């Protein structure tokens, strides 16, 4: 349920939509352009600054055991209320069932549908994994004179809750805590201190814009704090279009024109995570609604608001400064990496830059001094250079018109081939061209994958005091670069089994390992894939045989720069639970060599003195081969023939004279003692050499 206030029995400027402006009758409905009679009646979703500023946020300190403020699990949070009025000419209608009665689900990369117009069936992915996502559809109503029709457009996904009797619209609002940049009027560009995201939001008609409980929530502009003219029911020519009855249904949700939906600060997920070490001072709460623009609206530029907030329960000195990267810290030649320091009022990088973010293309040690409301601090970030990938070796060819050729290259890693337009055409040590009608050039490059394995602190339990406990607990962490958590170190009091899960921010299991422990110190293999995201949990679920946790010397965050940051525990910042010395493999970094040009020259093959019949009959099979192959040809005139093979330097590696050869000739040649590579077969017939390329692999 989502409850803030009871609906008021009274409304200011009460206005009832005409009975001839409904989702089935457009007679009295008005277009956004009042002169038009043929238009889409679109919603226009905003976010209310008044809904936040008027008691709509609560700050909590970082100390979960601070009895003065009774932080508990809210430690380090700034809880925020979201009120999202629809000030458009049409309703925002989100449906879990399309117009044909079908429901659509995504399981990994596969899409499934079931015909279930009343949403009475439960759906599970094949084999029960992964958890399905449900595609939602926006129903857009269209006025054409007196006629009302509609169409449906895909609008992102819902979190599928088959047992809850409703769906949640994903990524409906994103909350951030920011520092104002006086030189930029757009708060969505200001430096971010902390963030949060309401992953699921049940869209419903919660209150009328004219209700006394929500006067001021609906304004013609909500993007400017203390700005905008108040809108009441009578301000909307199509007020109530949608029916005013949307609720948490699995079939249809929404917000009618002239209504607002409200999600209270006390509800799950309605908070910003204030990073440990954040200073007291003046910040802004910035909220962005439908940030991915899944829904079609009258105005896509007014979905945000910014509200000033003064933090008083945070840090007063020694600010915690960090640097994050937008990618793996290992860069290939010619690549860039963007480094972003934690938010502050001023920045000074070792490069001399004074912006919060810098983009660099060289390996090295980068530092940034950040000035905050409680002093200055410095963070360091190391950028590493990948090893150089050697350029592959290849040789071109000359071919007769309308014939193809086999191009060959040698080099490290995977060999990728491209045509002269830059289009990818193949992979491997050989590439068979299409028939050549004009001289051209192909290109080949080596692509080498590199994996970097590192360890994240704390490396051991020796940070301070602690003891063995058997309760279900977890560590909270953020992932900046996709990685794999290979294994962790655990200290067990006794032998036994423990279930270890990777969970999302709500505790939903993403991956799991059931591990058998021995007594004492040991490493435990997990191999959990870590996508980029915030507030993951590494959890020991249920009871365990007694795992060590620290209750002294704990100092969050624990950082693996550019990869992940462990920020808190299930019991707050004073404790660290169970999992030490995280061994992490960062996402494979693929580096490419300089491309090698491989020219292919087309020749008309006229006037060369060749015998066309002999040329056509000459073949090498198999090719490529392991060093043993057959040479076949038709010798129309009896005579002695010379057959020899050279390497690419011209050195002869095989030589044979065939005496009195005539007719169909097939001869096996054995070169299996030679190194892999490209060789040239020469057959001299009637004094004219005929050359074929031979590939040994």
Place of tokens 């932080």: 71
pLDDT tens sequence across 277-303: 889 999 999 999 999 899 999 999 999
Distances, alpha carbon 88 to alpha carbons 31, 44, 173, 214, 674, in Å: 10, 4, 18, 17, 77
Angle at 119 between CA 113 and CA 124, to 5 degrees: 50
Distances, alpha carbon 224 to alpha carbons 50, 187, 278, 307, 460, in Å: 11, 10, 26, 9, 50
**CA separation for the pair 180, 191 (Å, rounded):** 7
Closest by Cα among 541, 540, 545 to 519? 545
- Do 427 and 415 contact (CB within 8 A), yes or no? yes
Residue 71 pLDDT level (bands cut at 50, 70, 90): low
Q: What's the chain's length in residues? A: 697
CA end-to-end span of the chain:
67
Say which residues have a Cβ less than 8 Å from residue 600's Cβ, sequence separation at least 6. Answer: 396, 397, 398, 399, 405, 407, 433, 436, 439, 440, 441, 442
pLDDT tens sequence across 447-499: 988 777 778 889 888 877 889 999 999 999 999 888 899 999 999 999 999 99
130: number of Cβ within 10 Å: 11
Distances, alpha carbon 209 to alpha carbons 28, 83, 143, 213, 306, in Å: 21, 11, 24, 9, 20
pLDDT tens sequence across 131-174: 788 899 999 999 999 999 999 999 988 877 766 667 778 778 89
**CA separation for the pair 541, 29 (Å, rounded):** 56
What pLDDT is attached to residue 92? 97
**CA separation for the pair 671, 646 (Å, rounded):** 11
**CA separation for the pair 560, 562 (Å, rounded):** 6
CA torsion sign for 85, 88, 89, 95 is negative
What pLDDT is attached to residue 616? 85
Strand-pairing partners, residue 271, are 79
What pLDDT is attached to residue 215? 96
- Do 634 and 664 contact (CB within 8 A), yes or no? yes
pLDDT tens sequence across 597-635: 999 988 766 545 667 788 888 999 999 999 999 999 988
What pLDDT is attached to residue 10? 30
DSSP designation for 595 = P
What pLDDT is attached to residue 341? 92
Strand-pairing partners, residue 446, are 415
- Do 170 and 197 contact (CB within 8 A), yes or no? no
Say which residues have a Cβ less than 8 Å from residue 384's Cβ, sequence separation at least 6. Answer: 329, 330, 331, 363, 452
Say which residues have a Cβ less than 8 Å from residue 309's Cβ, sequence separation at least 6. Answer: 57, 59, 78, 177, 282, 283, 284, 285
- Do 82 and 270 contact (CB within 8 A), yes or no? yes
How, if at all, do strands 533-541 and 496-503 pair? antiparallel
With 70 as the cut, is the pLDDT of residue 668 above it?
A: yes
- Do 213 and 188 contact (CB within 8 A), yes or no? no
Per cent of the chain over pLDDT 70 is 92
321: number of Cβ within 10 Å: 22
What pLDDT is attached to residue 1? 34
For 394, the 3-state DSSP assignment is: strand
What pLDDT is attached to residue 606? 55
For 306, how many CA atoms within 13 A lie in the half-sphere containing its CB?
17
Across residues 113-135, what is the average pLDDT? Answer: 83
What pLDDT is attached to residue 72? 65
- Do 617 and 634 contact (CB within 8 A), yes or no? yes
Question: Which structural domains are found in the chain, ordered by start?
Answer: 38-311 (no CATH), 323-385 (2.60.40), 453-587 (2.60.120.820), 607-697 (2.60.40.3080)
pLDDT tens sequence across 298-332: 999 999 999 999 999 998 888 888 888 887 788 88
Q: Which has the higher per-residue pLDDT, 651 or 96? A: 96
Across residues 242-252, what is the average pLDDT? Answer: 92
Across residues 323-346, what is the average pLDDT? Answer: 87
- Do 669 and 653 contact (CB within 8 A), yes or no? no
How, if at all, do strands 453-456 and 580-586 pair? antiparallel
For 233, the 3-state DSSP assignment is: helix
Q: Which two tokens stand for residue 581?
A: 């010395």
Per cent of the chain over pLDDT 90 is 56
Count of helices and strands (H, E) across the chain: 2, 51
Across residues 358-368, what is the average pLDDT? Answer: 95
DSSP H or E run through 616:
helix 612-617
Q: What is the mean pLDDT of the chain?
A: 87
pLDDT tens sequence across 218-237: 999 999 999 999 999 999 99
Say which residues have a Cβ less than 8 Å from residue 367's Cβ, sequence separation at least 6. Answer: 349, 350, 378, 379, 380, 381
What pLDDT is attached to residue 13? 36
What pLDDT is attached to residue 15? 39
**CA separation for the pair 318, 376 (Å, rounded):** 7
Q: What is the 3-state secondary structure (H, E, C) of 184-217?
A: CCCHHHCCEEEEEEEEEECCCCCEECCECCCCCC
Q: Which has the higher per-residue pLDDT, 15 or 625? A: 625
Place of tokens 């009774």: 70
The least confident of 173-177, 200-204, 334-338, 664-668 is 200-204
């Amino acid at each position: 349920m989502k409850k803030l206030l009871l609906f008021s029995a009274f409304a200011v400027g009460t206005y009832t939509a005409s009975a001839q402006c409904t989702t089935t009758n457009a007679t009295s409905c008005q277009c956004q352009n009042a002169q038009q009679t043929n238009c889409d009646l679109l919603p226009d979703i905003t976010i209310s600054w008044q809904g936040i500023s008027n008691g709509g946020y609560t700050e909590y300190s970082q100390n979960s055991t601070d009895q003065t403020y009774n932080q508990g699990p809210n430690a380090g949070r700034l809880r925020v209320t979201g009120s999202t009025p629809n000030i458009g000419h049409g309703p925002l209608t989100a449906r879990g069932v399309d117009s044909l009665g079908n429901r659509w689900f995504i399981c990994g990369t596969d899409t499934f549908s079931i015909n279930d117009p009343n949403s009475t069936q439960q759906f599970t992915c094949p084999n029960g994994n992964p958890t399905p996502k449900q595609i939602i559809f926006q129903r857009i109503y269209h006025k054409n004179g007196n006629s009302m029709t509609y169409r449906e457009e895909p609008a992102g996904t819902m979190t599928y809750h088959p047992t809850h009797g409703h769906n949640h619209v994903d990524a409906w609002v994103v909350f951030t805590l920011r520092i104002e940049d006086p030189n930029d009027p757009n708060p969505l560009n200001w430096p971010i201190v902390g963030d949060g995201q309401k992953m699921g939001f049940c869209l419903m008609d919660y209150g009328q814009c004219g209700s006394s409980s929500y006067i001021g929530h609906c304004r013609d502009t909500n993007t400017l704090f203390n700005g905008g003219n108040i809108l009441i029911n009578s301000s909307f020519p199509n007020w109530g279009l949608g029916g005013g009855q949307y609720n948490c249904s699995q079939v249809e949700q929404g917000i009618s024109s002239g209504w607002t939906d409200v999600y209270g600060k006390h509800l799950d997920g309605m908070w910003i995570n204030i990073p440990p070490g954040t200073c007291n001072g003046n910040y802004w709460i910035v909220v962005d609604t439908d940030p991915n623009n899944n829904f079609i609206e009258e105005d896509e530029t007014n979905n945000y608001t910014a509200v000033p907030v003064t933090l008083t329960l945070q840090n007063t000195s020694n600010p915690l400064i960090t640097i994050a990267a937008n990618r793996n810290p290992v860069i290939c030649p010619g690549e860039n990496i963007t480094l972003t320091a934690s938010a502050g009022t001023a920045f000074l990088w070792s490069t001399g830059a004074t912006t919060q973010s810098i983009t660099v293309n060289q390996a090295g040690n980068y530092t940034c001094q950040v000035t905050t409301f409680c002093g200055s601090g410095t963070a360091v970030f190391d950028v590493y250079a990948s090893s150089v990938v050697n350029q592959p070796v290849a040789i071109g060819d000359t071919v007769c018109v309308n014939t193809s050729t086999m191009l060959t290259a040698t080099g490290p890693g995977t060999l990728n081939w491209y045509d002269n337009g830059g289009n990818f055409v193949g992979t491997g040590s050989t590439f068979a061209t299409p028939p050549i009608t004009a001289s051209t050039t192909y290109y080949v490059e080596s692509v080498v994958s590199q994996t970097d394995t590192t360890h994240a602190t704390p490396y051991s339990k020796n940070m301070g005091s602690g003891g063995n406990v058997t309760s279900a607990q977890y560590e909270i962490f953020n992932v900046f670069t996709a990685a794999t958590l290979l294994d962790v170190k655990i200290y067990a009091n006794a032998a036994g089994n423990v279930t270890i899960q990777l969970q999302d921010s709500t505790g939903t299991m993403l991956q799991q390992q059931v591990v058998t422990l021995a007594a004492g110190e040991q490493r435990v293999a997990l191999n959990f894939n870590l996508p980029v995201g915030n507030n993951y949990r590494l959890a020991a679920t249920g009871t365990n045989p007694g795992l060590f946790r620290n209750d002294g010397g704990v100092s969050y965050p624990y950082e693996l720069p550019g990869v992940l940051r462990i920020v808190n525990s299930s019991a707050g910042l004073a404790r660290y639970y169970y999992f030490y010395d995280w061994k992490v493999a960062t996402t494979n970094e693929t580096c490419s060599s300089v491309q090698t040009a491989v020219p292919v020259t087309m020749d008309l093959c006229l006037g060369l003195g060749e015998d066309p019949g002999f040329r056509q009959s000459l073949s090498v099979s198999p090719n490529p081969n392991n060093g043993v192959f057959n040479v076949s040809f038709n010798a129309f005139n009896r005579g002695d023939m010379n057959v020899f093979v050279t390497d690419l330097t011209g050195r002869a590696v095989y030589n044979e004279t065939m005496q009195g050869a005539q007719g169909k000739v097939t001869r096996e040649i054995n070169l299996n003692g030679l190194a892999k590579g490209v060789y040239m077969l020469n057959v001299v017939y009637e004094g004219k050499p005929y050359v074929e390329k031979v590939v040994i692999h």
